[in-house]
Amino acid sequence: MISIWAVVNIPEIRQGDDIATLIGDAAGSLEDGDILAVTSKIVSKAEGRIVAAADREAAITAESVRVVATRGTTRIVQNAWGQVMAAAGVDASNTADGTVLLLPEDPDASARALCLALRERFGIRVGVVITDTFGRPWREGQTDVAIGAAGLRVLDDLRGSRDSAGHELHVTQPAVGDEIAAATDLVKGKANGTPVAVVRGLGRLVTDEIDPAGAQPLVRGADTDMFRVGSTEAWDEGYRAGLQARDAGS
**Which distant-in-sequence residues (6+ apart) come within 8 Å of 95 by Cβ?**
41, 45, 50, 101
- Per DSSP (E only), the strands in 102-195 are 127-136, 139-150
pTM, 2 dp: 0.89
Q: How many domains does the chain have?
A: 1
Question: What is the model's pLDDT at position 250?
Answer: 65
CATH code (residue 30)? 3.30.1330.100
Q: For residues 205 and 127, what is the distance between their CA atoms, to the nearest angstrom? A: 8
- Which amino acid does the sequence have at 215? A
The pLDDT assigned to 158 comes to 72
Residue 119 lies in domain: 3-249
Q: Mean pLDDT, 10 residues at a time, over the chain (250 residues)?
A: 95 95 94 97 95 84 90 89 90 82 95 98 97 91 96 86 78 90 90 89 96 92 84 82 81
Partners of residue 59 on adjacent β-strands: none
Compute the distance between CA of residue 250 and CA of residue 211 in angstroms, rounded to an integer. Answer: 54
Residue of 172, 175, 180 lying closest to 127 (CA atoms)? 180
**Residues 195, 131: Cα–Cα separation, whole Å:** 10
Given a contact cutoff of 8 angstroms between Cβ atoms, the answer to whether 151 and 126 are in contact is: yes
Torsion of CA 215, 2, 35, 176, to 10 degrees: 0
